[in-house]
Chains A and B, each alone.
Chain A
Amino acid sequence: MSRILQEIESKIGSIRAVSPTRVHVGVVQEVGDGVAQIDGLSRVVLNEMLEFPRGEVGLALNLEETSIGAIILGDYTSVREGDEVRCTGKLLQIPVGLALLGRVVNALGVPIDGKGPISTEESYPLERNAPSIIQRQPVTQSLQTGIISIDAMIPIGRGQRQLIIGDRSTGKTTIALDTILNQAVINRTGTNDPNFRPVYSVYVAIGQKNASIARVISILESRDALRYTVVVCATASESATVQYIAPFAGMSMGEWFMEHGRDALVVFDDLSKHAVAYRQISLLLKRPSGREAYPGDIFYLHSRLLERSARLNAEAGNGSLTALPIIETQAGDVSSYIPTNVISITDGQIYLETELFYQGIRPAVSVGLSVSRVGSAAQAKVMKQVAGRIRGDLAQFRELAAFAQFGSDLDAKTRLQLSRGQRIVELFKQRQHSLLSLPHQVILLWGVKNGFLDALAVDQIHEYDAKLIEFMNSRKSTLVEKISETQQVIDDELEKELKYALEEFAKLFP
């Protein structure tokens, strides 16, 4: 009996009284436009979450000698001078995981699509270190965009950072959206293959109109691509602070897929508006301004964001995170501050020209100014074989076309080059959201390369493409499947089959 009593007494003794909590507090000195100056908070750390009295969340960005500068996420109008602010000891985190797929969330990961709460088990901090050199491997796997001109000339690899740059209304969002749609198409077709690696997409809308975002979501929904996509929204009507954190939130969501051995694609639409939001915050925080009033660390802001996209090696899980940042130029000026910064950070750019767009060449990809530094390493062998010389041919055509304007007396070789170039340009015209699979692209490019389009009039090319694809799908489906499955170089046997098929189609085509 005494033993029982002793045990109970020892248990009572082990129960600790509720200890007082130790917190660090500060007082709001001034607040405006989502930025607050706070006195006190002597132990706060950079990027620590702060708690305001009415539940608002802040982020400590400026640590000064006697005060700190913080940004307020969400509604800042209820924060008053003299309010007590508390340190939380936590970094800002957002939910990540598969449960986010098919959902539309704000920059804090809170669902805004009315489909109920998202149950995720994990959350990642907004700011994380980029994967180290040891964890990475070279980019060698292709990420098909479904746009023939890009897949043939400016291939994108899994883990690459490819910038989409151009003036307003030149089709930047369309290219990014088509890439997401194409991943959905590929994901649907590959579900039966156990070795298939789907690509999940994260679309981050920064400083855009609500109507534009609604249009993007409706396109994704109508084409059944939303279930492979997460949409992160920081609209133009939201504060600059929310717009500033949105791409970091999108990147963290993408990183979860990469670190779990999956492939992901993140689109930042667009980083020019992100730079503007960061400039606004920096000026309100009274940070010294530099060129075009941007703060000195604007390059570091974008480089630390984009550096997080990578292709990991087998030991690190073999996942990848591809980034497609978008930059809007003013009057085609690629040499201004933010475009040059992001061009130098990324592994290549797709430059869209207004002039080409209004000439009807859509997507308006400028062959001369667009480049992929990963290049053909990220192309399927079969595509490399058929598209290897296309870029050179097209560049030569542009040069000859300018030269040919001065005289009509041209030799046969030049005339052939000109006519071939015109047909390539026509072939590369593609309607928005009408995507081409890899085997179809290969067949069309093989046809151009081997002169099957030379006999056609330029205005017949579009009809020829559509009918050839229809013909191949209906009558030569085994050949299409063979190209799709192997993705290796076209050998003599396959070449014979292709030649026979295209000759057969030429007899049918009017």
Chain B
Amino acid sequence: MKLKKTGRILSRKLFLLCLGRGKGKVAEDCVFAVVDALLEKKPRQYLQILRELLRRIRSALANSQARVQSAMPLSARERSLVRKRLMSFYNKDLEVWFENSAEVLGGLRIQIGSEVWDGTILSHLRHVSSFLLDA
């Protein structure tokens, strides 16, 4: 069932409560308190509201997390360098996750929310292949 306008407004208000007091980051204790209160009071369309809230929290968390993919595991020095560069570039606290993925062949792929910095060999090869196909 589609979430109605009042439900959307409520989910937005609840999401703002989940952000707590500082820096627009999702506060864990606030989230639990909001979800508990919602489940206890069960307003109309509460399940849809909960889903919408989950979506917003997921999106907010994704914006404060950086996923770094590389073909080989990065050394501790490289990891700290990447972390430092990202935080200075975005000027905010980021939770940085490192993953190994052989698919990328080489280089780094960093995703923060919906933004992707792709410097992998795989993406360059794709670019070259599309360029050659167009030509």
Contact = CB atoms under 8 A, between A and B. Distances in A.
A39 interface: yes
Size class of the contact patch on chain B: 10 to 19
Interface stretch (A18-26, A178-186, A446-454, A483-491): A18-26
Contacts of B56: 66
Interface string A13-50: 00000111111111000000000000111110000000
Contacts of B12: 65
Contact of A18 (B108, B113, B124): B124
B78 interface: no
Contacts of A41: 114
A21 B55 CA distance: 27
A188 interface: no
A286 B2 contact: yes
Nearest to B52: A66
A42 B118 contact: no
Nearest to A64: B8
B114 A40 contact: yes
Contacts of A18: 119, 124
A23 B118 contact: yes
B43 to A, nearest CB: 20
B117 to A, nearest CB: 5
B114 A66 contact: no
A24 B59 contact: no
A225 to B, nearest CB: 34
Given A18-B124, A20-B107, A20-B108, A25 B55 contact: no
A42 B119 contact: no
Interface string B9-49: 00010000000000000000000000000000000000000
A63 B113 CA distance: 17
Contact of A21 (B52, B111, B114, B118): B118
A98 B89 CA distance: 49
Contacts of A42: 113-115
B116 interface: yes
Contacts of A21: 117-119, 123, 127
A25 B119 contact: no
Nearest to A21: B118
A40 B111 CA distance: 12
Of listed A41, A43, A66, residue having the most chain B CB within 10 A: A66
Contacts of B118: 20-23
Contact of B116 (A19, A24, A39, A65): A24
Interface of A: 18-26, 39-43, 65-66, 286
22 contacts: A18-B119, A19-B119, A20-B107, A20-B108, A21-B123, A21-B127, A22-B115, A22-B116, A23-B115, A23-B118, A25-B111, A26-B114, A39-B55, A39-B59, A40-B59, A40-B113, A40-B114, A42-B114, A43-B114, A65-B12, A66-B59, A286-B2
Instruction: For the complex of A and B, list the 3 residue pairs with the smallest distance between their C-beta atoms, beginning with the closest.
Output: A20-B119, A40-B114, A42-B114
Interface of B: 2, 12, 52, 55-56, 59, 107-108, 111, 113-119, 123-124, 127
